[in-house]
Amino acid sequence: MTATHPAIELRRLHRYFGDTRAVHDVSFDIPRGEVFGYIGPNGAGKTTSMRILATLDLPTYGDALVDGFSVVNDPDRVRHRLGFMPDSFGTYPSVNCYEYLDFFARAYGLTGRQRHQALRRTMSFTGLDKLAEKPIRGLSKGMKQRLCLGRAMIHDPAVLVLDEPAAGLDPRARIELREMIGQLAADGKAVLVSSHILTELGEMCDRVGIIEQGRLLATGTVAEIQKGQTQQSEVEVRVLGGGTGLQRWLSQRCDVQHIAVHGELVRFTHAGGREEQAEFLKQMVLAGFRIAQFATHEKTLEDVFMQVTRGAVQ
C-alpha cells in the first residue's frame, strides 16, 4: 500500500457481546511513524479493539484496516503487516530465547538468510543477543517483555499493537521500553499502545485516544483535548507582605475557586487559558498587589483523563 494510507484505521467499529457494547462506534486513524496511546478504565474496550486489529476477533459492525487491508476481508495480509504484543503471553520455560524467536520467524514464513538476518536484527534491538542461549524460565520480567516485543517485530511489520507492555516493569525497564518504542516509531512504524501508567504514555505518545464504556470520548494531543474541555488552571502566587489581601480580592471573582493561603503563598484554580492568565496577572498588579511569583500548573495526561472520563463501568 502507498504511504498516503493511514497505517491503522478504525471505521465505525462495533463489537457487542449480548447486551454489552464492548466497542461502540469507534473511529480513528494512526499514520506511520506515530505512537498513539489508547487509554481508558478496565473494561472500556481497549483490548477488544486491539484483538480485532490483530484478527483475533471480528467486529459486529464496521471495519478496521491495517496498512490499507481489512481485518474482515484480508486477515492474512493484515497478519503479515501487524505485530501484536498481548498483555499476557505464553512461553515454553525450557526453550531459550533464540529458539523461541526462531520458532515465530519460521511461523511467519521466514527462511534461510532472511530468517537469520531477522533474528540478528531483533535480538540486537531488544538486547537479547547476550541471552540467546538462556532458557526463558531464567529471564526477568523485563527481559520477558523484551522477548515478547521481539516476537511481535520479528517479521518487520508496519504496525505494532502493544497491550500494557510496561505492566509490572521496574523504572529502568520502563524507561528502556519507552526508548525502544520511540525508536520503532522513528523507523516509520505505527505503534498503538495501551497502558494504565498515564505518565509513561504522556511522555512517549504523539496523540492519545480516551475510551470509556466502549465509546471513544476524545482523540488528539493533550493540548487539543484540553481545548474541548472547560479550562481550569492551578495557579500559585507569592505576594510580598502576605496573601490575606489577595485572598479577599480573589474571593470576589467568579473565575476563581479553591483559594488557600500559606503566608505569602496563595494557591487557587482559575478558569481560562494563557491569554486569560496574562490579563489576570495584569489586573492583580494594577490592583496594587506586589506579585513576586506567578506560576501555573500545566495539565498532564492524568489530569485530562480524569476530566474527560466519569469512572463509569459496564
Parts of the chain with a pLDDT under 70: 1-3, 226-231, 298-300, 307, 311-314
Q: Is the distance from CB of 199 to CB of 300 less than 8 angstroms?
A: yes
d(CA 68, CA 8) in angstroms, rounded, equals 8
Residue-wise pLDDT for 17-47, tens only, equals 999 999 999 999 999 999 999 998 888 899 9
- Residue 142: strand, helix, or coil: helix
Buried b / exposed e over 256-287, threshold 16 CB at 10 Å, is: beebebeebebbbebebeeeebeebbeebeee
pLDDT at 227: 64
Residue-wise pLDDT for 153-163, tens only, equals 999 999 999 99
Tell me the domain boundaries of the chain.
8-220, 227-305
pLDDT at 299: 66
Q: Can you identify the CATH homologous superfamily of domain 8-220? A: P-loop containing nucleotide triphosphate hydrolases (3.40.50.300)
Matching residue, cell 520458532: 103
DSSP character for 135? B
pLDDT at 62: 96
Class for the domain spanning 227-305: alpha beta
pLDDT at 2: 47
pLDDT at 312: 58
pLDDT at 112: 94
Going 153 to 158 to 164 to 165, the CA torsion angle's sign is positive
Longest dimension (CA), the chain: 79
Give the pTM. Answer: 0.77
**What is the phi/psi pair of residue 40, to 5°?**
170, 165
| 8-220 and 227-305 share one fold | no
d(CA 73, CA 70) in angstroms, rounded, equals 5
